[in-house]
Structure 1
Amino acid sequence: MTDSKSVVQHRTATVNGRKVFYREAGDPAAPAVVLLHGFPASSHMFRNLIPELADRYHVIAPDHIGYGFSDAPPVDEFEYSFENLTAVTLELLDQLGLQKFALYIQDYGAPIGLRIASRNPDRVTALLVQSGNAYLEGFTSFADILVAYTQDRLANEAGAREYLTAEKTRWQYTHGVPADRLERVAPDAWTLDQALMDRPGNKEIQLQLFWDYQFNLTLYPEFQQYFRRHQPPTLITWGKNDEIFGADGARAYERDLPEAEIHLLDAGHFALESHGPEIAVLIREFLGRVITRRN
């Protein structure tokens, strides 16, 4: 019989006047785990992981503003920056009464989650990192046109827009996945991402965040200082075949977090799609060692 508390609920909250959609499951009295998605995804990427954790943990997975089923106001009505996405996320967690939580950070979720963690170290019980850069070593040639875009938006906009096409979105999910695992990668994942990105005005949102990404890099020294000073328990599950954020980005964490547990999987950028059950087992075992249930 299924525990009703483990059933995923689909909720919305109003944060600073904007609707934020989030998925929730598990006992609110249990330790919290917050799942932060990347580009071009949404909390949908955690649809299979949430039930795997909800019997032990209170799981929250929000959609960032501009993504999934959260509000996506046009760029002239909302300042799209990673600082603002962080502020919205932290306000949501405060509204939900989450004083302490583990953070799962992937892609865009990393600069958001690491802002939260480095500024609120006492609230973060663990880091669960999947293709989430905090070091320059993680960047590959995938970022070249995006770097050029930050330097000259007009000259490089056409190239940046190529990253918003259906072909590129599908590639993000399928590259680096072994042939015997491709059938595990659900086409609804990239189809949903693309459908939401194709909404009027959404590509301008993505371009603005492409441009703003440069300011995440300026915070890497702060993130690394947080690692060195606070030594948060850290589990890294990273696709060794990821051509977006390379495996060197995973290995770089060892410099500041020598006790980090690192697993390089035979996967690409969205490792949960091809290796979800394996990652769930690793997370459950890891959190079971580093987090105790609240009294």
Structure 2
Amino acid sequence: MAICLSSASFSLPKHHSLISPSQFLLFTKKNSLLTCKSTNDSNEDYLLDAPVSVGDGFSFSGGKYSDEPSPADEWFKQGKYVKAHPVGGTGEKAKDPIFGLVMAGSSQSSTDLFRWFCVESGSTANPPVILIHGFPSQAYSYRKVLPMLSKKNHAIAFDWLGFGFSDKPQPKYGFDYTLKEYVDSLESVVDKFSKDKVTLVVQGYFSPVVVKYAKDNQEKISNLILLNPPLTEKHGNLPSTLAIFSNFLLGEIFSQDPLRASDKALTSSGPYKMKEDDAMVYRRPYLTSGSSGFALNAISRSMKKELKGCIEEMRKTLMDENWKVRTTVCWGLRDRWLSFDGVEDFCKESKHQLITLPMAGHHVQEDCSEEIGDIIAGILSKRRRI
């Protein structure tokens, strides 16, 4: 039995019960890591800043889980940065919105163009397919889909500004996270990845942004694949799990909580439970910089304000007779955020293909990655799959 308390970390294995007054706590330093020991002979010592295999694998200390390689480090090594979309603002140093203090250098954006983190797989000579994550998520959600598509395509997944390893400018200091800004920035980053026609795959609440971009650039798009997009009027309200980040003051506080901002936001939308290794990757941005939370807060406010209008515009676009892009809707039927009611009727009326995944939730690429990878590959090879 062991309990450790410090100003930076808290670690308590789930199988332990509360400590009794008679038990003894001893804190020692070993190799710069805090070791906790108990007085019994069960030999259950563990480290606060330790690999996930020891203790619960979670610590706020320095924004890192341990000094050993983590899944986030491994994912980062696979990617690279590309620079796209001009940085706006006045050039002043960003300040946090609560106390007005100048934020650290790691919270500042580039001075000319924003840095986008992306992971590529497959030959650049093959037709490009760009995998776009939803809100809130990361390119990491496509980690199992990328290699499946790389056999015949140049597959690319990127982090939106404000997410993952991409730049997270403080609102009013270069990027305000409006949906229009996301449309404009998407054009810049797509042009950076490829000058040829591309297939766009987008999941969730960023679908209206991608459809708006595609409407104005139909000549550049060969296929559009929407994964659980908000399509009906009922989808215009953010679920409470996301809407809470837009609240005054409370939103700023909750946006800084890595468990609420990543774990709860992802696992509450569907049937799956993340493995600890995967959770560590999604938490990393919120552990390393407060700018991730401030970005999440700003995005939530924009979504809450603009989502209904953007969904209505997306519906009109997809049903317009001038819409020429081949479009497929893939829907995880166990989505806890967006109801399936009305989705089938919309697809029939708009004459877009609908593919349902009975075991997937809102983040279909997490729940059924192999299946969605096969579906996308089939669409790209012009095989129709029902």
The structure with more helix, counted as a fraction of residues: 1
- Tell me: CA distance 1:84–1:125, structure 2 relative to 1, closer, same or farther (3 Å): same
Contact 2:237 2:307 in 1 (8 A): no
Change in Cα spacing, 1:95 to 1:248, as seen in structure 2 (3 Å) is same
Aligned pair in 2 of structure 1 residues 54, 139: CA closer, same or farther (>3 Å)?
A: same
Q: What's the counterpart of residue 250 of structure 2? A: 158
Whether the 8 Å CA contact 2:118–2:158 is kept in 1: the answer is yes
Q: What CA distance in whole angstroms lies between the structure 2 residues aligned with 1:35 and 1:54?
A: 12
More moved, 239-248 vs 45-54: 239-248
| 1:58 corresponds to 2:154 | yes
- The answer to whether structure 1 residue 201 and structure 2 residue 291 are counterparts is yes
- Greater Cα shift, 123-132 or 167-176: 167-176
**Residue matched to 1:5:** none
The partner residue of 2:331 within 213, 235, 238 is 238
Given that 2:270 and 2:336 are in contact with CA atoms closer than 8 Å, whether structure 1 keeps it comes out as no
**Preserved CA contact (<8 Å) 2:171 2:177:** yes
Matched residue SS, 1:243: coil
1:219 lines up with 2:310 in the alignment: yes
Is contact 1:125-1:232 (8 Å) kept? yes
Please identify, of 223-232 and 110-119, the stretch whose mean Cα deviation from structure 2 is larger: 223-232
* Matching residue's letter, 2:79: H
1:28-84 deviation per Cα after TM superposition (whole angstroms, max 9, x unaligned): 232221111112211111111010001111112111111111111222312222222
Read off the aligned partner of 2:221 and give its amino acid letter.
V
Which has the higher relative contact order, 1 or 2, with Cα contacts under 8 A spaced 6 or more apart?
1
Q: What is the alpha-carbon distance in structure 2 between the residues aligned to residue 167 and residue 222 of structure 1?
A: 31
Q: Secondary structure at the match of 1:14?
A: strand
Contact map agreement 1:186 1:273 (CA 8 A) in 2? no
Which letter maps to 1:239? G
AA aligned opposite 2:355: I
Tell me the CA shift for residue 248 of structure 1: 3.0
Decide which moves more: 61-70 or 162-171: 162-171
CA–CA distance in structure 2, aligned partners of residues 33 and 129 of structure 1 = 13
Residue 255 of structure 1 deviates from its aligned partner by: 4.9
Taking the TM superposition and a 5 Å limit, the aligned residue runs for 1:54-93 are 54-78=150-174, 79-93=176-190
Q: TM-score, normalised by structure 1?
A: 0.81
1:261 aligns with 2:354: yes
In structure 1, what residue type is equivalent to 2:167?
A: D
1:10 aligns with 2:92: no
Q: Which residue of 2 aligns with 1:146?
A: 243
Give the greater-gyration-radius structure (CA). 2
Question: Which consecutive unaligned segments of at least 5 residues does structure 2 have?
Answer: 1-76, 87-112
Note if contact 2:162-2:292 (Cα within 8 Å) is conserved in structure 1.
yes
Q: Output the aligned Cα RMSD.
A: 2.9
Q: Is the 8 A contact 1:174 1:268 kept in 2?
A: no
| Distance across 2 between alignment mates of 1:11 and 1:224 | 35
What percent of counterpart residues are identical? 20
Greater shift, 26-35 or 242-251, is seen at 242-251
Are 1:210 and 2:300 an aligned pair? Answer: yes
Shift of 1:168: 6.0
Separation in 2, partners of 1:49, 1:145? 26
| Equivalent residues, number | 275
1:274 pairs, out of 367, 372, 380, with: 367
Deviation at 1:256? 4.3
Q: For residues 140-188 of structure 1, give each alpha carbon's deviation from its aligned partner in whole angstroms, at most 9, with x where no partner exists.
A: 7725983995xxx53xx4268557641463234334655xx65xx4333
Q: Give the distance between the partners of 1:12 and 1:148, measured in 2 at CA.
A: 28
**Structure 1 residue 220 displacement after superposition:** 2.8
1:107 matches 2:204: yes
Mapped contact 1:39–1:108 kept (Cα < 8 A): yes
Match of 1:186 among 270, 275, 283: 275
Mapped to 1, the partners of 2:127 and 2:242 lie a distance apart of 41
**1:16-38 deviations in whole A, cap 9, x for unaligned?**
22111111122223222111111
- What amino acid sits opposite 1:158 in the alignment? L
Instruction: Tell me which residue corresponds to 1:3.
Output: none
- Counterpart for residue 4 of structure 1: none
1:265 positional shift: 2.6
Name the TM-score, length of structure 2 as normaliser: 0.63
Q: Is the CA contact (8 Å cut-off) linking 2:269 and 2:337 kept in structure 1? A: no
In the aligned structure 1, how far is the partner of 2:338 from the partner of 2:298?
20
Structure 1: which 5+ residue stretches go unaligned? 1-7
**Structure 1 Cα separation of the partners of residues 216 and 202 of structure 2:** 16
